[in-house]
Amino acid sequence: MIPVAFGATAADAEGRPDGKKISPESALKALKSGNLRHRHGKSIRKSYAPKGEALSKGQWPIAAIVGCADSRVHPDEIFDIAPANLFVVRNAGNVIDDDVLGSLEYAVEHLGVELIVTCGHSLCGAVKATEAVVLGGDLPGGHINNLVEKIRPALAALPVGHTLQQAVTANSKQSAQRALNDSEILLEAKLAGKLHVVSATYSLVNKKVYFYNEATVTPV
Ligand SMILES: [Zn+2]
């Protein structure tokens, strides 16, 4: 039995109270169909939580999202999904740090999440700021530098003259890979076949979320 912690309820640790399980494949399908509704202005905020359960009784997220803090990109909105369905961690540049990893580990170990999606977005200011530094500009200063240093390696492998969108995509893929590389708990879940980690980017222009290949375990 998984220990209950951080205010999680017994229902959280033991699975959905209705006994039904949403597979990572079905969860991904739900995210894609929700984004389709969002794109076409047909949002219904569909709920994948057990019917009739009050939010105070627990939460049953079908996925964890690592998204950017940008005020234009709200996961619940872009995936057209109701509260209790997504476990969301956000920061500028959707980077992976220790606190993000702790949150993801909690979602996987205690809430039964089997799908993590790192989701960048077009015209990301954090990635743009990093591009400026890579091109020879000064670091922005303060704690923003921490974000830049986290994003910077993703840009190193890109060809000279790459676009901002290519950098955004590379950064999202990097975050997905880091989630697996930097967390033993997430890596073990992946190796046990209980976790899928996928990267994605959201377009501010056409509102579409583009999904990329699943992150793989890097040989050591
Ligand atoms: Zn951003």
10 Cα to the center of ligand 1, angstroms: 36
Residue type, 61: P
Amino acid (one-letter) located at 93: G
The 3-state DSSP class for residue 99 equals helix
* Centroid of ligand 1 to alpha carbon of 110 (angstroms): 28
Which of 125, 130, 138, 111 lies closest to 194 in space, CA to CA? 111
Q: How confident is the model at residue 2 (pLDDT cuts 50, 70, 90)?
A: very low
Measured in Å, residue 107 CA sits from the centre of ligand 1 at 23
Distance of alpha carbon 97 from the chain centroid = 13
Contact 53, 105 (CB under 8 A): no
pLDDT digits (tens, 9 = 90+) for 134-175: 999 999 999 999 999 999 999 998 999 999 999 999 999 999
What is the SS3 string spanning 24-80?
Answer: HHHHHHHHHHHHHHHHCCCCCCECCCCCCCCHHHCCCCCEEEEEECCCCCCHHHHCC
Span from the CA of 94 to the centroid of ligand 1 (angstroms):
7
pLDDT at residue 193 in the model? 95
pLDDT for residue 51: 82
Query: Which residue segments constitute the domains of the chain, with CATH numbers given?
Result: 15-214 (3.40.1050.10)
How far does residue 124's CA lie from ligand 1's centre (Å)?
A: 4
The per-residue pLDDT of the chain, averaged, comes to: 91
Kindly report the pTM of this predicted structure.
0.91
Contact 176, 116 (CB under 8 A): yes
In the numeric block, which tokens belong to residue 176?
Answer: 């997905």
Q: How far is the CA of 195 from the centre of ligand 1 (A)?
A: 25
- Reply yes or no on whether the pLDDT at 1 is more than 90: no
State pLDDT tens for residues 164-219: 999 999 999 999 999 999 999 999 999 999 999 999 999 999 999 999 987 777 64
- What is the reported pLDDT for 15? 59
Using the structure block, give the residue that is written with the tokens 């995210």. 31
CA distance 216 to 194: 13
Q: Is residue 198 a contact partner of residue 116, using CB atoms and an 8 Å limit?
A: yes
What is the Å distance from ligand 1's center to 166 Cα?
14
Strands of 115-121's sheet in order across? 86-91, 63-68, 115-121, 196-202, 209-214
Q: Please report, as a single letter, which amino acid is at residue 113.
A: V
Rounded to the nearest whole angstrom, what is the distance from the C-alpha of residue 18 to the centroid of ligand 1? 37
pLDDT of amino acid 213:
82
* C-alpha 215 – ligand 1 centre gap (Å): 21
Alpha carbon of 93 to ligand 1 centroid (Å): 5
> What are 50-73's pLDDT values in tens digits?
887 788 888 889 999 999 999 999
In the reported structure, the alpha carbon of residue 81 is separated from the centroid of ligand 1 by a whole-number distance in angstroms of 21
Q: What is the mean pLDDT of residues 113-140?
A: 97
Give the Å distance between the CA of 122 and the centre of ligand 1. 8
Helix (H/G/I), strand (E/B), else coil: 119: strand
Q: How far is the CA of 104 from the centre of ligand 1 (A)?
A: 19
Residue found under tokens 């999440």 = 113
Q: What is the pLDDT of residue 218?
A: 62
- Taking each helix axis from N to C end, the angle separating 164-181 and 144-156, rounded to the nearest 10 degrees, works out to 100
Q: CA 127 to CA 171: how far, in whole Å?
A: 8
* Rounded average pLDDT over 105-119: 96
For residue range 3-36, list pLDDT tens digits in order. 444 444 444 445 577 777 889 999 999 999 999 9
